[in-house]
Amino acid sequence: MCGVRQRPSRRRASRSRRRVVRSVIAVVVLAAAALSLRIAPPKLGIEVRNEANEPVARFEGVRSFGLAHTHSVMKTPVEDYYVVEGRDRLVQTKTRYRSLGAGLPFAGVGEFRREEGWFVREDLDGTLPNITVRVGRVSDQVLTIGDQEIPLRDLDQPGKALTIRARMILFSVLWI
């Protein structure tokens, strides 16, 4: 028997074929995933979740948005503007308000100026993983995306917290 090669058993050959088939399937699946990402690259968007961490609104293709409300003490409008830079990465770029008073910024980070009756602070560069707001009873919070205005009271009842997060959207289905 020296020098004579023996055939592998049928069981070993069968196992070997299964491994090859699994490897080929894995390569095909990975290639298809890579190709689909190239064809439909991930998009940015924002997601609004309630206190139970359930999504109540999702907006695809969002690069920037505004969040407006009525100041609780001064009873004047306040507008904050954000840019979506990536998953869990929101950057506050600007805030505008009509009057100076309690709880309104007047000195600090960014450029401050007066513009058509508004106090404007830009270049804030405040990076946030998310924004949590409590739906107001009188503050009339509104999420603005392009020309679309979404009152937060339409998403949950007054007194409840809503969290706005930046998300990556894969295949227009998977939100991560």
For residue 151, pLDDT over 90 is answered with yes
Residue 43 DSSP SS3: strand
Q: Is the pTM of this model over 0.85?
A: no
Nearest to 139 by CA among 64, 68, 60: 68
Would you say 154 and 142 are in contact if contact means Cβ atoms under 8 Å apart? Answer: no
d(CA 108, CA 121): 9
Q: How many CB atoms within 10 Å of residue 15?
A: 12
Q: What is the pLDDT of residues 64-113, one digit of tens each?
A: 999 999 877 778 899 999 999 988 899 999 989 887 665 555 566 678 88
For residue 30, pLDDT over 90 is answered with no
Nearest to 128 by CA among 161, 167, 89, 95: 89
For residue 53, pLDDT over 80 is answered with yes
